[in-house]
């Protein structure tokens, strides 16, 4: 179970890293589209809290997203184990 949660956390880290690379390469003159905005809000939940925080560095976003995915992974794995034991 530890390895699966580590995989969840790694996935969260990679997702935030890919978004960081995307926005580093994106042009400042082109507005962010609705689809991209929706995808980043779904896959990187710390962005939803960003207006309430003073400033977030890329490193803090990477760590926060990895921790969020690890928490979701923990919940999913606990539910998965519970469902397997009940069958």
Q: What is the mean pLDDT of residues 56-83?
A: 91
- The residues, ordered by sequence, that sit 6+ positions from 58 with a Cβ below 8 Å of its Cβ are 20
Which two tokens mark 86?
A: 């009940």
Check whether 78 has a pLDDT greater than 70: yes
Show the tokens assigned to 65.
């997203």
Q: Distance between CA 10 and CA 33 in Å, rounded?
A: 27
Q: Under a CB-based contact definition with an 8 Å cutoff, are residues 46 and 61 in contact?
A: yes
Query: Over 70: is that where the pLDDT of 54 sits?
Result: no
pTM: 0.84
């Amino acid at each position: 179970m530890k390895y699966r949660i580590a995989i969840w956390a790694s996935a969260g880290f990679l997702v935030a890293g890919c978004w960081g690379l995307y926005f580093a390469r994106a042009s400042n003159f082109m507005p962010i589209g609705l689809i991209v905005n929706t995808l980043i809000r779904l896959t990187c939940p710390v962005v939803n809290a960003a207006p309430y925080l003073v400033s977030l560095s890329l490193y803090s976003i990477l760590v926060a997203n990895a921790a969020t995915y690890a928490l979701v992974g923990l919940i999913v794995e606990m539910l998965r184990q519970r469902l397997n034991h009940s069958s």
